[in-house]
Amino acid sequence: MAVGRGARTEKKIAYDEKLCKLLDIYNQILIVGVDNVGSNQLQGIRAGLRGDSIILMGKNTMMKRSIRVHAEKTGNTAILSLIPLLVGNVGLIFTKGDLKEVSDEIAKYKVGAPARVGLIAQIDVVVPPGNTGLDPSQTSFFQVLNIPTKINKGTVEITTNVDLIKKGDKVGSSEAALLSKLGLRPFSYGLIVKSAYDNGSVLSPDILELTEDDVALKFANALANVAAVALSISYPSIAAAPSMFINAYKNVLALSVATDYTFKQAEKIKEFLKDPSKFASTVAATAAPSGGQAAPAKEEAKKEEPEEESDDDLVSGLFD
């Protein structure tokens, strides 16, 4: 008995040393669920990740103890955020690569699996209509499950789509037997990313699915919100600066138009207000299509009058 306890103690010490060493080397960790993953499948995943990533399995109690030991020795208390994540049948993938790429790589190793009795359905299982290849003596399976069938050319044929199992329901014996007879393997099993640890931060697996376009869109939306708040409370910020300058220019321009005060950017507007015909000539010159009848008039207007600045030019001139 003493020899057995000594061997177990040595294994625990070796496991602590291995995990602590990995925690020293790697700052990125994926916490993955390993339910229904076989040893051969896990071996294939290890081979696929060989290079930048290492998979470590073990009992949750052992992993939690090793993490606490490492935190005490190194003072790295951030690593303690891993402990609440070690729930259920999970393992750790230590990596120096991109977390998204590692997640995509392990997803390649999912394998199809039959619907065994008692399993929780991962997805909705729908049996499509069509010939099953089963002889008429097998109709009892379909009758138990209320599946509409007919006999066609000596075989059982399903006539409509059938919602056999709902996601989250347990697989019953009749459903499992029927799917087995039909040769359907509706489920797939592999390592499932449950959480990600990156330099002290715990991330949801959904974040790993974000693309650069998604990040850019979220940043743009956040920037628009910041600008809206800054404008509403008249608080100067870089996000709101362009709109604030434009609004300020409009206010000064309105004041200039209403009074005798003028400045360079307001002179053109005042000329238009004094002589509205300039508006018409400017609009006609802009709207006339190239090569159309208005082209000669456009050329004539250019000869008679100097080229007018657009409203955009007036606004942009403010920042010159």
Q: Which tens digit of pLDDT belongs to each residue from 34-44? A: 887 888 888 88
Please state, as a whole number, how many other Cβ atoms lie within 10 Å of the Cβ of residue 5: 9
The answer to whether residue 167 scores a pLDDT higher than 70 is yes
Residue 227 lies in a domain: no
47 & 27 share domain: yes
Q: Which residues of 196-226 are buried (b: 16+ CB within 10 A; e: fewer)?
A: bbeeeeeeebeebeeeeeeeeeeeeeeeeee
pLDDT band at 245 (very low <50, low <70, confident <90, very high): confident
Identify the domain containing residue 264 by its residue range. Answer: 240-317
- Which of 64-73, 186-195, 265-274 has the lowest average pLDDT? 265-274
The answer to whether residue 192 scores a pLDDT higher than 50 is yes
Residue 252 lies in a domain: yes
162 & 125 share domain: yes
Residue 215 lies in a domain: no
**Predicted pLDDT at 30:** 93
80 & 200 share domain: yes
96 & 7 share domain: yes
Q: What CATH number is attached to the domain comprising 144?
A: 3.90.105.20
Q: What CATH number is attached to the domain comprising 21?
A: 3.30.70.1730
The answer to whether residue 293 scores a pLDDT higher than 60 is no
94 & 23 share domain: yes
Q: Give the DSSP H/E element, type plus range, for residue 214.
A: helix 212-232
| Mean pLDDT, residues 289-306 taken together | 49
